[in-house]
Amino acid sequence: MEVLIQGILDGKNELFDLQGNNVVDTPAERSICRRIRVRKNGKYGFIDMNGNLVIPAEYDWADTFDRIKLYGKWYIATTVSIQQRKWLIDSNNQPISSTLDINNQHFIINDKLWVKQDKGYTLVNLKWETLLQTDYQDIVNDHSQQPQNIYLVKKQDYFGVIRICDNNREQVILPFKFESCKFWKLHGTRFLIQGTIKGKKGLFDLDGNNVIPCTYNKSDVIIAEYSFDCEKQYYTIYTIEEEYLLDENCLVIARINKRNDVSYFHFLMNQQRKQFRFKTINELLSYCKNIDEKTISYTDKEDIITYAYFFLEEILQKYAAQYDLRYTRFRFLNNRWQTRWGECEYWNRSINLNLSLLLQSERNIRKVILHELAHLKYPRHTKNFYEFLGKLLGTNTQEAKKKFGGKMTFLKEENWFAIINQKKKELFALAEQGIS
């Protein structure tokens, strides 16, 4: 066994042979199987973390090891080559595939092996035998999120979506008429497909059904998030114009037009308005200013967060509609941003507010909401921003710049997202039962 010397060079661990040559191909290179690629006399091999040579330096080329899935089986594998032939090996240097001419490009996409040829992509087995010949120009390889056996492919300059069936035949899910396509991964194992046709984008399920119509511009933001479990899983889709509630089969259960209503949560809460604990936002603010956070019960905290979400979103939507400053969704600030009253995520048009606003006056709350909405038009605190905010507030630029102080850690530790989703689940169940 070859002896190697471990040393530190420029603050990095390196390995040298007895002639002083650095044998690590890339400094501090590591793989998930704890194999380090090394180069010796122009040949590639692998050593373990102790410097022991575990795969001889005999290959003209070797890629780094990675965890891959091929035809339902997981491997720790890499590609190696000798004399114009390449193949896949595992971490014990055992061959996984037969050999292939090195000039042929191969890809592992969604647990299947593909070879790119002049006439298109060919689906092959581990012996490189043809299973399916296609005329695809391209296959999108989305390593992070891709449903089993579903592929985004390009043909004649247009994208479509296909399924590879058990008999290695293709089934078209979406026809080849889209300018672009991409997968959307929802909570758990659920997926949607975003497709753009004639410059308008929408969402489709994995059976090709149009879930969200293709009426949105390329620049329009669409956000999806998990909502709650109520026998099924439910998801919410947000756009600047509408909000959708989907079940786990991607069927639209509810659709809210945000020019006529606020949100699905607001709609459900309104069904219970006669039983409200706090009838107005001022009742809620008065209560919050007179409580002791150290002795308040968890039930009271849940109520405060629920009604705060309801009333603040109501004010937010009122001004958004009045001044045509459309946002996608409303949230409370995460703990890390408890040093600010509000935040506008301009890139996805989300508005976030600090729960500590409940200790402020309604006037200050409205000022913060208009401030964040103004950022949808002017992302930065420029002269134009403050002039615009002044118009919204009905005051001058200097007044618009004035800040106010106060405690900014009210209910900081509470998981508002879980509380709101639990309330949404309870209200949804009541609505399903026809109880108001």
Q: What is the pLDDT of residues 387-396, one digit of tens each?
A: 999 999 998 8
- The pLDDT value given to residue 435: 57
- The verdict on residue 144 lying in a domain is no
- Counting as low any pLDDT under 70, the low residues of the chain are 1-33, 143-144, 188-189, 335-338, 434-436
> Whose structure tokens read 């106010």?
404
Give the end of a domain, one of 45, 74, 102.
Answer: 102
Residues recorded for the chain? 436
- The pLDDT value given to residue 32: 59
- The verdict on residue 227 lying in a domain is no
DSSP notation for 76-132: EEEEEEETTEEEEEETTS-BSS--EETTSEEEEETTEEEEEETTEEEEE-TT--EEE
Q: How many domains does the chain have?
A: 2
- The verdict on residue 5 lying in a domain is yes
Looking up residue 313, the CATH number of its domain turns out to be 3.30.2010.10
| Beta carbons within 8 Å of 380's beta carbon, 6+ residues apart | none
DSSP notation for 339-391: TSSEEEETTTTEEEE-GGGGGS-HHHHHHHHHHHHHTTT--S--HHHHHHHHH
Bin 362: left if φ > 0, else alpha if -120 < ψ < 50, else beta: alpha
* 200-204 and 191-197 beta bridge pairing: antiparallel
- The pLDDT value given to residue 396: 85
Structure tokens at 230: 């109520």
263 contacts 243 by C-beta, under 8 angstroms: yes
- The verdict on residue 157 lying in a domain is no
- The verdict on residue 206 lying in a domain is no
- The verdict on residue 404 lying in a domain is yes
| Beta carbons within 8 Å of 351's beta carbon, 6+ residues apart | 316, 327, 329, 330, 331, 342, 343, 344, 345, 369, 372, 373
| Beta carbons within 8 Å of 399's beta carbon, 6+ residues apart | 390, 393
Which residues partner with 75 through β-bridges? 68
Q: How far apart are CA 320 and CA 314, in angstroms?
A: 10
- The pLDDT value given to residue 27: 43
Range of the domain at 9: 1-102
Give the end of a domain, one of 102, 123, 158.
Answer: 102
Enclosing H/E stretch for 6: strand 5-9
Enclosing H/E stretch for 196: strand 191-197
- The verdict on residue 256 lying in a domain is no
Bin 126: left if φ > 0, else alpha if -120 < ψ < 50, else beta: alpha
DSSP single-letter state for residue 429: H
436 contacts 271 by C-beta, under 8 angstroms: yes
Q: How far apart are CA 339 and CA 70, in angstroms?
A: 49
- The verdict on residue 424 lying in a domain is yes
Q: How far apart are CA 426 and CA 120, in angstroms?
A: 52
- Identify the CA nearest to 351 among candidates 240, 270, 245: 240
Which residues partner with 378 through β-bridges? none
Give the end of a domain, one of 62, 86, 102.
Answer: 102
Per-residue buried b or exposed e for 133-161, using 16+ beta carbons within 10 Å of the residue's own CB: ebebeebbeeeeebbeebbbbbeeebbbb
